[in-house]
C-alpha cells in the first residue's frame, strides 16, 4: 500500500513510518480470502476497520462473535456489542454470537486460520511475550490458547517500546505467551519474519531506511525486500 511517511531523527523511530491504522491496514491486505481470523488487543483490533467488506474474511472474537465487523459510527454504537477488548464493533450479515465456552472450543479445536496479536517482545526464534511486564497487572486472557490453537500467528506492534528499546529481540526477557509460534511481524517500520537467528525484512515503510531498522532492532536483520510469503 502507498502511505506517506517521514523518517525522524529520534533514536527509537517512534513517530516514523506507518501509523497504528496503517500497520493494521498493511496486515489486513495480506489476510487470505476465506480465512477465519481472531483479532487480539491493541493495533490488531483496528484490522476490522480496514478489511474490504466484499472480501470473504471471517473475524472471530473470543468473547463470542463470528462474523465481526469494524467499528460503527458513533450514533450507532450498541454498548452490548463489543469485541473482547470492549471496543464497539458491528456484525456482518450472517454473523453469530454465542457463549465464550463455544468460542474457546473453536480456538482450542484448531478452527482458526490466523491469530493477529499485539506483543511486548518477539524473539528471533518466533517466541512471543505479550501478557505481562514488570509493573503491570498480569492478564493472560485468551492469548495462550490462541498461540497454540491458531494455525498461524501474526504480531502487530510498534517497533520500539515506550523507552525506545527494541521489541524485536534475540530472546524474550519477559514471560512467554508461546514459543516458536510467530510467523510474521508488522511494525511501524516494516514487515518482518523471524528466521535463522534474526529477522528478515520483507518490506520497509515509506521513508524508512535500512539503517533505521538495524539501529532499532535488537537482533540481526537481513533484507529480502519484495520476497513473497
Q: Which residues are catalytic?
A: 62
Instruction: List, in sequence order, every residue forming a beta bridge with 200; answer none if it has no partner.
Output: 193, 222
Helix extents (H) in the chain: 20-30, 100-108, 143-149, 210-215
Alpha helices, DSSP H, located in 61-152: 100-108, 143-149
**CA pair distance 90, 61, nearest whole angstrom:** 12
**Distance in angstroms (rounded) separating the CA atoms of residues 11 and 221:** 17
Residue 30: count of CB within 10 angstroms of its CB:
13
Tell me whether strands 168-169 and 182-187 are parallel, antiparallel or unpaired.
unpaired
- The whole-angstrom separation of Cα 44 and Cα 96 is 21
Amino acid at each position: 500500500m502507498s502511505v506517506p511517511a517521514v523518517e525522524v531523527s529520534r533514536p527509537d523511530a517512534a513517530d516514523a513510518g506507518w501509523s497504528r491504522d496503517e500497520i493494521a491496514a498493511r496486515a489486513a491486505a495480506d489476510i487470505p480470502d476465506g480465512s477465519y481470523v481472531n483479532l487480539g488487543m491493541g493495533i490488531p483490533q483496528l484490522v476490522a476497520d480496514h478489511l474490504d467488506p466484499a472480501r470473504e474474511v471471517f473475524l472471530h472474537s473470543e468473547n463470542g462473535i463470528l462474523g465481526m465487523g469494524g467499528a460503527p459510527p458513533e450514533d450507532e454504537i450498541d454498548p452490548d456489542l463489543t469485541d473482547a477488548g470492549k471496543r464497539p464493533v458491528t456484525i456482518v450479515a450472517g454473523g453469530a454470537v454465542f457463549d465464550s465456552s463455544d468460542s474457546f472450543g473453536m480456538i482450542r479445536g484448531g478452527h482458526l486460520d490466523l491469530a493477529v496479536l499485539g506483543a511486548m517482545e518477539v524473539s528471533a526464534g518466533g517466541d512471543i511475550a505479550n501478557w505481562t511486564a514488570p509493573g503491570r497487572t498480569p492478564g493472560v486472557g485468551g492469548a495462550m490458547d490462541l498461540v497454540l490453537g491458531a494455525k498461524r500467528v501474526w504480531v502487530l506492534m510498534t517497533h520500539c517500546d515506550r523507552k525506545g528499546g527494541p521489541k524485536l529481540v534475540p530472546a524474550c526477557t519477559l514471560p512467554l505467551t508461546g514459543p516458536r509460534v510467530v510467523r510474521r511481524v508488522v511494525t511501524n517500520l516494516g514487515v518482518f519474519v523471524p528466521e535463522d537467528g534474526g529477522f528478515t525484512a520483507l518490506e520497509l515503510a515509506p521513508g524508512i531506511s535500512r539503517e533505521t531498522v538495524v539501529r532499532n532492532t535488537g537482533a540481526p536483520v537481513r533484507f529480502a525486500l519484495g520476497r513473497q510469503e
